[in-house]
Amino acid sequence: MTPKHPIPIPSELPRVDFGTRPLAEYRTTLVPGMYEELVELGRALAGARVLHLSATAYGGGVAEIMHTLMPLMHDVGLRPEWGIIHGTDEFFDVTKLLHNSLQGDERTPTDEQWATWHRYQELNAGLFEPSDYDVVFVHDPQPAGIARLHSGADTTWGWRCHIDLSTPNPRTLAALLPELEPYGVGFFHRQEYVPAGYASGAAWVVPPAIDPLNVKNMALSRHDAAYIVRHFGVDPERPMIAQVSRFDPWKDPLGVVDAWRIARADHPGLQLVLVGSLAADDPEGQQYLDATIAHIGDDADAFVLTNLDGVGEVEVNAFQVAAGVVLQKSTREGFGLTVSEALWKGRPVIGGNVGGIRSQITDGVSGWLVDSVEQAGAAISAALADPAAAAAMAMAGKEQVRERFLTPRYLRDHLLAYRHLLGA
Ligand code: UDP
């Protein structure tokens, strides 16, 4: 098919420079035996060439995880590379629709939109030689069709699904499933995300993880956090609640605003901070950001901030540390790294009772799971009214994060998958 508009095609897949990081630095955060296991797995896979393919190098959970995983993979002895597929708005408009549809939206790509998607699969498939790698690991639906276009290549294929596939639009799923056949391993965050019709032997349940040592999660005192948030106009002397999320209907920022209004009746002076970055593959983001600002109206105690206001990693850390309560009030959520990020900082967390948030919070034990704006409002009020009880729950959550949701455990699952694919 001839493209309607000329597309500037790169001569090869752009690679991300992810730097280096010694695994040894993580030793004190690991559960016993994990470090030795990782070293051993690295030895078994020494020199293995692994190419990861994803849609963007910044913004959102996928990029976040990759920036930690790739350097550690290199440190244990593999030769990893991370390539970013080429796409323009016409492609990302389709992949956003595809993403939403696979998470249950009734809209489904039209034939013309599928044709656009396939055109970009072909374009990107031509930008690298899969036989140069022992394993090619493809992330999410955006580039998922590349493997089928290289069916003769001398490599092995893995697929990482970062989204909630528990109630997909059946038409969209049916169109995607044949594209997934070449993948010898598929990672899913939760068992219920493995779609009906997916080759069962290939499905592995592997939740993602947070990096305890990156700038966003490193230890930051409440004093320093207060100093930072003050720069954005927030009053550290008054209570504040925060949600850190892309501006997306499923993250429910409007619901967070409503819940904050409910809780403010019990806690006058309560401030709200909504932090969100605008990712390159998220054209709807700006639109939803505008809707959020409009929903708040003129209220000096609510702050809507983005990367464009200078909110980077250290600032996200500061807002999470300074918050009396962190929310992730999603109505659908693949995993929700922000939940583990906040628990790791010992903050009380209120999460939507959906998807991967349920893997991270046990309601009433390590946080609150809520099904409505009213429940969220009541939970905020309760957490602020009894900070000692809320802190005890947060600590229970933190210990679970230490065990299950830190990067070295995620690295181990990747290495096990490569070993499986290579029969090593
Ligand atoms: N994030 C950020 N700045 C923002 C918004 C989000 O750094 O303004 C980070 C957030 O801390 C988390 C990731 O982006 O590490 C979002 O991952 P999550 O799994 O919560 O959601 P996703 O965007 O992948 O749906």
CATH number, domain containing residue 363: 3.40.50.2000
Q: How many angstroms separate the CA atoms of 344 and 217, rounded?
A: 8
- Determine which residue's CA is closest to atom 17 belonging to ligand 1: 61
**How high is the pLDDT of residue 78?**
98
Q: How many angstroms separate the CA atoms of 214 and 386, rounded?
A: 31
Query: Could you identify the atom of ligand 1 that is nearest to the CA of residue 279?
Result: 23
Based on the fold, state whether residues 130 and 112 are members of the same structural domain.
yes
The answer to whether residue 7 is domain-embedded is: no
Based on the fold, state whether residues 179 and 315 are members of the same structural domain.
no
Query: What is the CB < 6 Å shell around ligand 1?
Result: 60-61, 64, 216, 244-246, 275-277, 307, 311, 316, 335-338, 341
| pLDDT for 103 beyond 50 | yes
Based on the fold, state whether residues 352 and 264 are members of the same structural domain.
yes
- Determine which residue's CA is closest to atom 6 belonging to ligand 1: 245
CA of 48 to the centre of ligand 1 (A): 30
Instruction: Determine what percent of the chain is predicted with pLDDT higher than 70.
Output: 96
Based on the fold, state whether residues 400 and 410 are members of the same structural domain.
no
Please give the C-alpha separations between residue 169 and each of 104, 165, 322, 330, in angstroms, as whole numbers. 5, 9, 40, 19
Of 46-50, 276-280, 286-290, where does the model show the most confidence? 46-50
Based on the fold, state whether residues 65 and 117 are members of the same structural domain.
yes
Q: Check: CB of residue 16 under 8 Å from CB of residue 50.
A: no
**How high is the pLDDT of residue 285?**
87
Based on the fold, state whether residues 264 and 387 are members of the same structural domain.
yes
Eight-state DSSP code of residue 14: P
Would you place residue 63 in the very low, low, confident or very high pLDDT band (cuts 50, 70, 90)? confident
Based on the fold, state whether residues 396 and 265 are members of the same structural domain.
yes
| pLDDT for 2 beyond 60 | no
The answer to whether residue 190 is domain-embedded is: yes
The answer to whether residue 10 is domain-embedded is: no
- For the chain, the average pLDDT equals 94
The answer to whether residue 14 is domain-embedded is: no
Q: How many angstroms separate the CA atoms of 10 and 15, rounded?
A: 12
Q: How many domains does the chain have?
A: 2
Segment 174-207, tens digit of pLDDT: 999 999 999 999 999 999 999 988 987 899 999 9
Domain extent for 235: 222-404
pTM of this structure:
0.89
Segment 304-344, tens digit of pLDDT: 999 889 999 999 999 999 999 999 999 988 899 999 999 99
Based on the fold, state whether residues 51 and 182 are members of the same structural domain.
yes
Q: Check: CB of residue 288 under 8 Å from CB of residue 256.
A: no
Read off the pLDDT of each residue in 287-307 and give the average, rounded to a whole number: 96
Would you place residue 31 in the very low, low, confident or very high pLDDT band (cuts 50, 70, 90)? confident
CA of 60 to the centre of ligand 1 (A): 4
Eight-state DSSP code of residue 73: H
The answer to whether residue 97 is domain-embedded is: yes
Spell 393-423 as b/e; 16+ CB within 10 A means b: bbeebbebbbeebbbbbbbbbbbbbbeebee
| Nearest CA-CA partner of 140 in 117, 122, 123, 156 | 117
| pLDDT for 7 beyond 70 | no
The answer to whether residue 214 is domain-embedded is: no
Query: Could you identify the atom of ligand 1 that is nearest to the CA of residue 356?
Result: 19
| Nearest CA-CA partner of 136 in 155, 121, 164 | 155
| Nearest CA-CA partner of 326 in 304, 305, 344, 308 | 344
CA of 342 to the centre of ligand 1 (A): 12
- Determine which residue's CA is closest to atom 11 belonging to ligand 1: 338
**How high is the pLDDT of residue 380?**
98
Based on the fold, state whether residues 298 and 180 are members of the same structural domain.
no
Based on the fold, state whether residues 95 and 236 are members of the same structural domain.
no
Q: How many angstroms separate the CA atoms of 333 and 351, rounded?
A: 10
Based on the fold, state whether residues 399 and 417 are members of the same structural domain.
no
Q: Check: CB of residue 325 under 8 Å from CB of residue 380.
A: yes
Query: Could you identify the atom of ligand 1 that is nearest to the CA of residue 311?
Result: 8
Would you place residue 280 in the very low, low, confident or very high pLDDT band (cuts 50, 70, 90)? low
CA of 113 to the centre of ligand 1 (A): 28
**How high is the pLDDT of residue 1?**
44
The answer to whether residue 4 is domain-embedded is: no
The answer to whether residue 12 is domain-embedded is: no
Q: Is 401 helix (H, G, I), strand (E, B) or coil?
A: helix
The best mutation among 96, 99, 245 to test binding of ligand 1, ranked by most ligand atoms within 8 Å of the C-beta, falls on 245
Q: CB count, 10 Å around CB of 388? A: 6
Based on the fold, state whether residues 254 and 375 are members of the same structural domain.
yes
The best mutation among 54, 58, 62, 64 to test binding of ligand 1, ranked by most ligand atoms within 8 Å of the C-beta, falls on 64
CA of 59 to the centre of ligand 1 (A): 7
The best mutation among 277, 331, 345, 410 to test binding of ligand 1, ranked by most ligand atoms within 8 Å of the C-beta, falls on 277
| pLDDT for 137 beyond 70 | yes
- Determine which residue's CA is closest to atom 23 belonging to ligand 1: 60
CA of 390 to the centre of ligand 1 (A): 23
